[in-house]
Amino acid sequence: MRRHIAALALLACTAAPLAARDSLGVFGQWGAFRDAEVPRCYAIAMAEDESEGFATVSTWPQRQVRGQVHFRLSRTLGEDVPLVLRIRGENFELMGDARNGWAADAQMDAAIVAAMRAASQMQIRARDEGGRRFTNTFDLSGAATAIDAATVACSQRN
């Protein structure tokens, strides 16, 4: 667990697209952050099985976007391969390009977040550019609290 917390802190501080201004806390395997400059707030977790994969659930107040799901994959996707997220026996076919995956629309985002709240783990399965199967697994302990912390932080007026 300490490895995950250290990785979350390092990722939040060094990844350009995820550079956080304020840490809202670490909840289980998930961290929550707020960047007032953008503004945006997000919950984030590293994949259990790969050091480069991570998942985020973001709120973008100025865009009126809430609960947007994004995955950074551990490998580059092959062309025209399905990218499937599995949570508690339910499959979600994600859109993807290169090393990113996301829901097709806001309705799917909401369904994924609802499923995450009721599960202990989620997995993304796909094939990489070499045709090899790979899976990124995420521990969902603390996900609901981190998502809520991020949502509340971006709903407050400054």
Q: What is the pLDDT of residues 102-111, one digit of tens each?
A: 999 999 999 9
**pLDDT reading at 2 higher than 70:** no
Q: Which two tokens stand for residue 29?
A: 């395997």
Tokens of 3: 């490895």
Give the mean pLDDT of 33-58: 91
DSSP string, 16-57: GGG--SEEEEEETTEEEEEETTTTEEEEEEE-SS-SS-EEEE
Give this prediction's pTM: 0.85
pLDDT at position 49, please? 76
Q: Find, among 28, 131, 36, the residue nearest to 78 by Cα.
A: 131
Round to whole Å and give the CA distance between 118 and 103: 18
Of the ranges 18-22, 29-33, 63-67, 87-91, which one carries the lowest mean pLDDT score?
18-22
Please enumerate in sequence order all residues whose Cβ is within 8 A of that of 117, keeping only pairs 6 or more positions apart, or say none.
143, 144, 147
Going along the chain from its start, the domains and CATH numbers come out as 22-156 (2.60.40.1880)
DSSP, res 77: B
At position 118, the amino acid (one-letter code) is: A
Distance of CA 152 to the CA centre of its chain: 17
